[in-house]
Amino acid sequence: MTIIAQFDTDPTLINISNRHHAWHTTGGAHGFPSRQYPMGSVGSGHEFFQFHRDLMNEFFTWNNIHHAVGSTEIAAWHSIPAELKVPETGWPSPWPGLDLAAAETRINSNSPPFVNDDALGIFAEGTIHNWIHGAVAAAPAFHLSPEEQDIISHFHSVKSTWFYKIHGLVDLWWSRFLHPKNVVKDTIDTPPKAIIIDVTKPHIIDVPSKHIFDIPPKLISEAPDPFKPTIDPAVIESLTHRIAQLEGRAKVKKSPFIKPFMRPEVGHEIMNVDPKKTPE
């Protein structure tokens, strides 16, 4: 599926499509305003990122309820697909002065660095984004029909499942720029370390990943687990003594909790009722 048919009938999706059309149209459309900052001007890059993220989140919320399309059909690209890097799409220079390969490298490496996310957005929109919608329509490998090509190439592209792959990639660029590092990535990027325990006090040394298996097993296998809690032996001894005291007190002659003379006569009376008599 490439065209999401519900965009023609569902009020929520019609609203999304009209707002997207208006945002990209000078003066607005369908009763909605145009973008606040013209493309390429200060502020337009951040607005470009935020507007499309909000629009996608609205659609995803709707789709989670109505299940119009499967998650794989609208899953974000993590990079520009190889199917788009062909002469038929204009790659790598669809118009004079634009080098898409160099633009992709700069976005992925942030080198030279962008001063802020607004600068990144301005650059991304004016280069790869303005090319990629048409590239999807022209890519031979995607086999889009004329109607599908027209939709993804113009302002109502939100009707196409390809839109969410494209802008999922754009949103990934934004997120990666704002949050270049996280705990998981730091852990992966950190060289392995070994704990040496055949000295007075354990210490940690850096070990290149390719040499980690050259360390004698005994130096690592006996290393204390930093995440495993330890108990003071004195505490264990104290608890053992306390348990022994409690067990000693428990060794007393057992006797009924309720003495015989304290037991009620209810059971006795019931047991002596003549079963042939009927209750009054």
Q: Is residue 280 part of a domain?
A: no
* Predicted local confidence at residue 222, as pLDDT: 45
- Bond into 112 cis (ω within 30): yes
Whether the pTM exceeds 0.75: the reply is: no
**Main-chain dihedrals φ then ψ at residue 214, nearest 5 degrees:** -85, -10
What mean pLDDT comes out for the span 185-203? 47
pLDDT over threshold 70, residue 200: no
Q: How many domains does the chain have?
A: 2
Between 206 and 110, the higher pLDDT residue:
110
> Domain for residue 23, yes or no?
yes
- Residues 96 and 216 grouped into a single domain: no
**Residue 103 belongs to a domain:** yes
- pLDDT: which is higher, 144 or 245: 144
Confidence of residue 274 (pLDDT cuts 50, 70, 90): low
Task: Identify whether 219 is part of a domain.
Answer: yes
Average pLDDT over residues 256-264: 50
The residue range of the domain holding 34 is 5-185
Last residue of one domain, picked from the residues 133, 153, 185: 185
Q: What is the mean pLDDT of residues 15-27?
A: 98
Tokens of 277: 């008599």
Least confident stretch, 53-62, 103-112, 181-190, 242-251:
181-190
Task: Check whether residue 143 and residue 196 sit in a common domain.
Answer: no
pLDDT surpassing 50 at residue 195: no
Could you tell me if 38 and 171 lie in one domain?
A: yes
Q: How far apart are CA 190 and CA 192, in angstroms?
A: 6
pLDDT digits over 24-36, tens only? 999 999 999 999 9
For the chain, the average pLDDT equals: 81
Do 215 and 176 lie in a common domain? Answer: no
Nearest to 155 by CA among 9, 19, 1, 12: 19
Quick check: 204 pLDDT over 50?
Answer: no
Whose structure tokens read 């220079």?
93
Residue 143 maps to a domain: yes
255 and 168 together in one domain: no
* Strand, coil or helix: 113: coil
Alpha-carbon distances of 171 from 52, 54, 178, 185, rounded to whole Å: 8, 10, 11, 19
Say which residue, 34 or 223, is predicted with more confidence.
Answer: 34
Mean pLDDT of 106-125: 98
Residue 181 has a pLDDT of 76
| Chain Cα centroid distance, residue 75 | 12
Percent of the chain with pLDDT over 90: 64
Last residue of a domain, one of 153, 185, 217: 185
User: Does residue 131 have a pLDDT over 90?
Assistant: yes
Q: What is the mean pLDDT of residues 69-86?
A: 97
CA–CA dist 272, 267 (Å, integer): 9
Based on the fold, state whether residues 110 and 249 are members of the same structural domain: no
**Residue 91 domain-assigned?**
yes
Domain boundary among 185, 216, 240: 185
Q: How far is 3 from 13, CA to CA, in rounded Å?
A: 13
| Predicted confidence band of residue 253 (pLDDT cuts 50, 70, 90) | low
What are the backbone dihedrals phi and psi of residue 195, each rounded to the nearest 5 degrees, phi first?
Answer: -100, 120
